[in-house]
């Protein structure tokens, strides 16, 4: 282990806090909210890889890979939704999407 | 040596992410984020996960961020003057919650914890063996999930 695990966890915590701040602050822009989610998932991957290194187990790396595959599925769906919503309302402002059609 | 590189990369990640989340121009934000992901990939390599580092560059910085760029350019969203940037009213809850998270993280430094002694580095062979033997069913589930995401994206994106 090149650095103590606590430092890796602190770095991951800082990245996660930045991603959370991005999601909360940019509530009006769907694309920036998705970017914030990406940042938070990266922090989670850093924790998994750091733990995998500490214990010498492969599980953390496998889990990081699973997060990556999950993210690519999630982003493709979310961006398809953004395109769909933009086609309907001509905006990506999340406040505009306030009506349901039953 | 590796320790110094780790801290430099950590500083790069934090600064680039900070620029990314405060940038009004979405394309610039994504370029900053790619920088951050490259630095994170090198940290993964330093932590003994070369395969995850390579996938971080290929999938995250290469595929997902380019997908974002495609959508931004397709929808013509690259006009920062049209975007309502978050003001102080939007930033204070974010700062508050982020501060609480950071305080909780820094508490980790003060609590002494004796982790088990470090295991050795994990080779690609061990990684692949765990991935396809122990977690083979998870790989199948992920492949189904990707297929469903593809079908869903096609359904949402069709012309009417």
Q: How far apart are CA B107 and CA B90, in angstroms?
A: 27
Each domain of chain B, given as residue ranges in start order, spans 1-82, 123-160
Asked if residue A61 lies in contact with residue B121, where contact means CB atoms within 8 angstroms, the answer is no
> Could you give the ipTM of this predicted complex?
0.89
List chain A residues with CB under 8 Å of B127. 58, 61-62
Domain assignment of residue A50, yes or no = yes
Domain assignment of residue A100, yes or no = no
CB contact under 8 A, A31 and B68: yes
Residue A100 distance to chain B (closest CA, Å):
16
- Total residues belonging to chain B: 160
CATH of the domain at A31: 1.10.287.3510
Structure tokens at B141: 């589930």
Query: Looking at residue B158, what DSSP letter applies?
Result: -
Domain assignment of residue A101, yes or no = no
Fold of B1-82: 1.20.120
Question: Which residue range forms the structural domain that includes residue A83?
Answer: 5-90
Place of tokens 């990939």: B41
Q: Is B116 helix (H, G, I), strand (E, B) or coil?
A: coil
Residue A59 distance to chain B (closest CA, Å):
7
What does the angle CA A66 – CA A68 – CA A73 come to, to the nearest 5 degrees?
A: 95
Q: How far apart are CA B17 and CA A46, in angstroms?
A: 15
Between residues 71 and 130 of chain B, which touch chain A (CB distance below 8 Å)? 71-72, 74-75, 77, 83-84, 86, 90-91, 93-95, 97-99, 101-102, 104-106, 108-109, 113, 115-116, 118-122, 126-127, 129-130
* Residues A66-77: tens digit of each pLDDT: 999 999 999 999
The residue among B68, B148, B126 whose CA lies nearest residue A34 is: B68
* Predicted confidence pLDDT, tens digits, chain B (160 residues): 888 999 999 999 999 999 998 888 888 999 999 999 999 999 999 888 888 899 999 998 889 999 999 988 888 877 777 777 777 777 888 888 888 888 887 887 777 665 555 666 777 888 888 888 888 899 999 999 999 999 998 988 887 6
Domain assignment of residue A98, yes or no = no
CB contact under 8 A, A25 and B94: yes
Domain assignment of residue A22, yes or no = yes
Q: What is the count of structural domains for chain A?
A: 1
């Amino acid at each position: 282990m090149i650095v103590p695990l606590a430092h890796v966890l602190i770095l991951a915590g800082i990245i996660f806090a930045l991603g959370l701040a991005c999601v909360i602050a940019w509530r009006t822009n769907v694309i920036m909210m998705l970017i914030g989610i990406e940042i938070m998932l990266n922090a989670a991957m850093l924790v998994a890889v750091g733990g995998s290194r500490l214990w010498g187990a492969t599980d953390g790396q496998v889990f990081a890979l699973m997060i990556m595959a999950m993210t690519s599925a999630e982003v493709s769906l979310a961006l398809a939704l953004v395109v769909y919503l933009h086609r309907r309302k001509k905006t990506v402002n999340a406040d505009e999407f306030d009506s349901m059609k039953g | 040596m590796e320790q110094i590189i780790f801290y430099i990369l950590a500083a790069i990640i934090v600064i680039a992410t900070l620029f990314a989340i405060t940038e009004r121009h979405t394309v610039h934000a994504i370029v900053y984020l790619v920088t951050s992901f490259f630095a994170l990939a090198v940290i993964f390599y330093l932590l003994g996960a070369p395969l995850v580092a390579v996938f971080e560059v290929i999938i995250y910085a290469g595929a997902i961020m380019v997908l974002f760029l495609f959508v931004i350019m397709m929808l013509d969203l690259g006009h920062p003057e049209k975007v309502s940037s978050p003001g102080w009213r939007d930033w204070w809850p974010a700062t508050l919650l982020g501060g609480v998270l950071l305080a909780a993280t820094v508490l980790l430094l003060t609590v002494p914890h004796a982790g088990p002694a470090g295991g050795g580095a994990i080779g690609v062979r061990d990684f692949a063996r765990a991935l396809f033997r122990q977690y083979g069913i998870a790989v199948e589930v992920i492949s189904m999930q990707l297929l469903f995401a593809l079908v869903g994206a096609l359904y949402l994106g069709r012309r009417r």
